Amino acid sequence: MVFDHNFNLDDGSINWGPTESHREYHRKMFQGFLAQTPQKLRQACCDDEGRLVHILQAEHFDLPFLEHICEVTTAARRSYKFASAKMHEMLARKKVLHLFAQPSSRTFESFTVASSNLGMTSRSLRDLRTSSSAKGESDRDALRTHSSYFDAIVFRSPCDYFDMFALWVMSTSNRPIPIINGGSGKAKHPTQAILDYYTIRASLERQIDGKSFAFVGDCLRGRTVHSLAKVLALHKDIEMYFVAPEEYQIDPQTEAYLKKKGVKVNKVTGGLEGIPEIITGAVYMTRIQDEHDGDGEQKRYNPRFIFTEKMLDQLQDPAVLMHPLPKREEIYPAIDYRSDRKIMIWREMRNGMWTRTALFAHIFGFDQEVLRSYHEASKAYAPTPL
Ligand code: ASP
């Protein structure tokens, strides 16, 4: 199954090489790399000082790391207007490649703007038919090539384990640049989890312990659901409701992971009615991830799981409504025209640009610089609330 580490390396999502013997050789090397303990693999994501520099999966985060990124995010967001010239110079010599093998609007654009906020040069490769992949180049060679020109790579891939694959390639290279997972397969979207966490933390005024959260829609294949649930599980006394029909319910591996972390897990298959009023943290809506069905059809959303205006009224302070976007029919259209503090969807999206700015600053060791420029700027103006 895709959600633990028993990957099916023959699923065709990675080009391992030109011949069966090449493929076998590289797969064996990769398996050897994966055989390390989870602790060792996390360590492989850190620099010599123990800073997490490869941002690959929610399982690698802890609360001090998230707290730090949130602080740098707020500093970048608040000081940008006043210290933009300074921020624009910070990473002026750094170059990032956005290597996106799947459609993306928000992740791609927000990473691009985030890199320009810090003065980085960014390039993108979205249509792999224009790269040497079309000439049969292996994904391993492609990544090594890109890492020769750039200082960081942000990737998006249909492959559930592309994060580990990329980490392995970097670990065998003499130029192991930081890599950031902008969404891999059905399993992981760690930077979305950070921006969602930032939004939740601000909305709940940092009181996340003891709160309850509802994940609605496609809990099986929604990578944002998996990553955010794992991040929230770092807090104490968390209760989660997975609200989805049986066929889209949370997978057993993620459920077991959450329970092990002490989360109280509830699975609700009948519909969303009655849930928003008991939620104290956030209702997190998601679309059906039907691109994984392979038949090219857009599946209709079960009306019993639609978030209505009545539900918005039932949502109790300080709980909020969230959605990683894109949304389709899972949220009632009138909600687009409601002006309500509880609707955090668009704020959440904008927060993505700032959390990704903070992540770039962090991986290149300029996070303290961002904090400093905020403290200097804050002497000159009163900050705006979230
Ligand atoms: N944008 C999110 C993702 O890439 C959510 C979605 O596509 O539904 O996973």
Mean pLDDT confidence for 216-243: 98
Least confident of 4-13, 138-147, 192-201, 376-385: 376-385
Task: Output the CA 283–ligand 1 centroid distance in Å.
Answer: 16
| Residue of the CA atom closest to atom 7 of ligand 1 | 326
Per the CB < 8 A criterion, the answer to whether 225 and 287 are in contact is no
Least confident of 96-105, 289-298, 326-335: 289-298
Query: Is residue 227 predicted with pLDDT exceeding 80?
Result: yes
To test the pocket of ligand 1, the residue of 223, 226, 331, 356 to mutate (highest count of ligand atoms within 8 Å of its CB) is 223
User: In this predicted structure, what is the pLDDT of residue 385?
Assistant: 56
Task: Output the CA 85–ligand 1 centroid distance in Å.
Answer: 33
The residue type at 101? A
User: In this predicted structure, what is the pLDDT of residue 3?
Assistant: 45
Model pTM score: 0.95
Q: How far apart, in Å, are the Cα atoms of 157 and each of 51, 57, 309?
A: 25, 14, 35
Edge to edge, the sheet with strand 282-285 lists 264-268, 239-243, 212-216, 282-285, 320-322
User: In this predicted structure, what is the pLDDT of residue 247?
Assistant: 96
pLDDT band at 383 (very low <50, low <70, confident <90, very high): low
Q: Which atom of ligand 1 is nearest to the CA of 107?
A: 1
- Whether 188 is in the pocket of ligand 1, judged by its Cβ within 6 Å, is no
Domains contained in the chain, CATH given: 52-188+353-369 (3.40.50.1370), 190-348 (3.40.50.1370)
pLDDT tens per residue, range 122-153? 999 998 888 888 899 999 999 999 999 999 99
Q: Which atom of ligand 1 is nearest to the CA of 189?
A: 9
Query: Is residue 249 predicted with pLDDT exceeding 80?
Result: yes
Tokens coding 218: 């496609």
- Whether 189 is in the pocket of ligand 1, judged by its Cβ within 6 Å, is yes
- Whether 226 is in the pocket of ligand 1, judged by its Cβ within 6 Å, is no
pLDDT band at 294 (very low <50, low <70, confident <90, very high): confident
